[in-house]
Structure formats: structure tokens, C-alpha cells
Amino acid sequence: MRQRHIIYTLLSLMAISISPACQKVIDVDLNEAAPRIVIEGLITDRRGPYSVNISKSGSYFDQPLLETVSGALAVITDDFGNIDTLRESLPGRYLTVRIRGVIGRTYTLNVVSEEQEYKGSTTMLSRVNIDSLKVVKSEYQAINFNGSSQNEIRYEIHCFFRDPLEKNYYRIKVFKNDSINTESYRLYDDQYQNGQHTQLRVGRVSPGDNIRVELLSLDKSTYIYYRTLADLLYQNPFFGSTPANPNTNLSNGALGYFGACAISGRTIVITESLLNSIK
């Protein structure tokens, strides 16, 4: 949708710049890709049911809502021999019935839709517990429109945890007053701090905020999916590379991902007295 608006704006500017004495028809040829199946599923170490959403990608000029896929067969198995045939609770939304998210197990999703089969596998890695959340006071110099400057005090939440001595990938989710920006992808890997005590800044806060921070331990394929998705969401369409689809661990040309993660979380309430006590 963002690209569509950009193209509309460019075409409008081009039309304005052409004088009546020198009119020219500009034919823009935009090929529309055939719809592809989109599968998104995540198993956690929390109690289910877990959901798998199945839809179809839209053409370039479609509305932002994706077409849901009903009547698909979705089955999740694990390496302990457990089999779970998901039930469709809403159009395109399939829920597990009996499978459990257990750390260390490998899960495989099989989807059959319109005589095509799609498969993806993932392993749930160990949970990494958040040791603490801390409010940190910072002072910034803000520049006003008239060129003058003034000092500005900000309060930020920092998350502390001990990274295990192994390769780890994380996503941090921050809930402020029970709401979350679902398009915010705070991603981190331990390339430079493997096995060390880790401190991450996770966001600004104000008095009255109720903050919950969750640390998701991801497998590599799920992390790469989120990373490439974040790159696509935040790249500049004028100066960045040509848009592409995020990396996926699904077969047969499907878009999306099937992942597993263990989750730890902590909550902190931001009060005036808490902020006043910070030096």
C-alpha cells in the first residue's frame, strides 16, 4: 500500500509538470504477480491453543486485507510422535487441539490447500529469563525550530538478562498499558555478547505507564524471517533496494513462516515516586 501511494504521488507530480502545450501520455506497465499462499504460525511454551493463519497474497493494486484460505488441511507433528490436526475456528484461522509447546522439541507443519502441499519445521530453543527491568534517566539536548536548544529529560526502560553460552536469537515485545505495536520488531542476536550479562534499551516511558516486556527466544529461521520483514518495513523505497519477500522456512513457494519460541516476561509500573527516586 505504501508503494502504491508513492507511485500515485509520482504520477500526479508528473502530470502537473507537463504543460498543456506539450502533453504526453505516460503508460506505466506494472506487472501484477499471481497470488501466493501466505502461512503464519507460531508455537510457544505457553498453554495453547496455537494458531496458524492461512491467506493469499494480494496483487499490487488490491486492498490491504488479504484473502483468507478456508478448507485447508493443517497438521502439526513433533519429534515425539504427537500429531495434531488443526480445526478452522474462523475463515483462514486454524487452531491446535492437543499439541503442546515444549522446549527442545522440533515441530513440523504440513498444509494442503488447492491440491498443493506446503511444509515448514522449527525447533523450540531454551527460555532465557529476564533478570530485571530498570528505569534509566537520560538527558538530551533538544533543538527548537528557532535554533535555540534546551535540555530534555527522558526516562527509558532497560532490560537485563544473562545470555547463555550458545548462539541465541531474540525478539523483544513491549506492551504499554496492555497494547503493543505489532509492526515493531525489536530484534537482537548475541553475536557480540555471547554468554555475557546483557542490557538492552527497550523504549521510553512516562508516569502512569504499565509496561510489560517479553523476551522471545527464537530459532534462526524465525529470526531471519522477522529480520528481513523489518528491513522491508523500514527501508526507504527511493534509496533502498528493490522490495522483495521476507525469507521463509516454508516449502513450495509459500510466503510467511512457521516458528517456535520460549517466552519470559516481566512487568513494571511507572509511578511518579519511582521517577523522582532516579538520580
Residue with C-alpha cell 530534555? 152
Give this prediction's pTM: 0.77
The CA–CA distances, whole Å, from 178 to 40, 104, 134, 211 equal 23, 30, 19, 8
Return the exposure string of 38-70: e unless at least 16 CB atoms fall within 10 Å of the residue's CB, then b: bbbbbbbbeeeebbbbbbbbbeeeeeeebebbe
- The yes-or-no verdict on residue 194 having pLDDT over 90 is no
For the chain, which residues make up each domain, given as ranges? 130-232+262-276
Query: Which CATH entry fits the domain spanning 130-232+262-276: 3.30.420, 3.40.91, 1.25.40, 2.60.40?
Result: 2.60.40
User: With bands split at pLDDT 50, 70 and 90, how would you rate the model's confidence at 69?
Assistant: very high
Query: Which one is predicted more confidently, 180 or 100?
Result: 100
- The yes-or-no verdict on residue 231 having pLDDT over 80 is no
pLDDT at residue number 229:
83
User: With bands split at pLDDT 50, 70 and 90, how would you rate the model's confidence at 234?
Assistant: low
User: With bands split at pLDDT 50, 70 and 90, how would you rate the model's confidence at 159?
Assistant: very high
Residues 27-41: pLDDT tens digits? 434 345 678 899 999
Supply the mean pLDDT for the chain.
81
User: With bands split at pLDDT 50, 70 and 90, how would you rate the model's confidence at 116?
Assistant: very high
pLDDT at residue number 246:
77
Identify which of 56, 75, 76 has the alpha carbon closest to the alpha carbon of residue 65: 56
pLDDT at residue number 3:
44
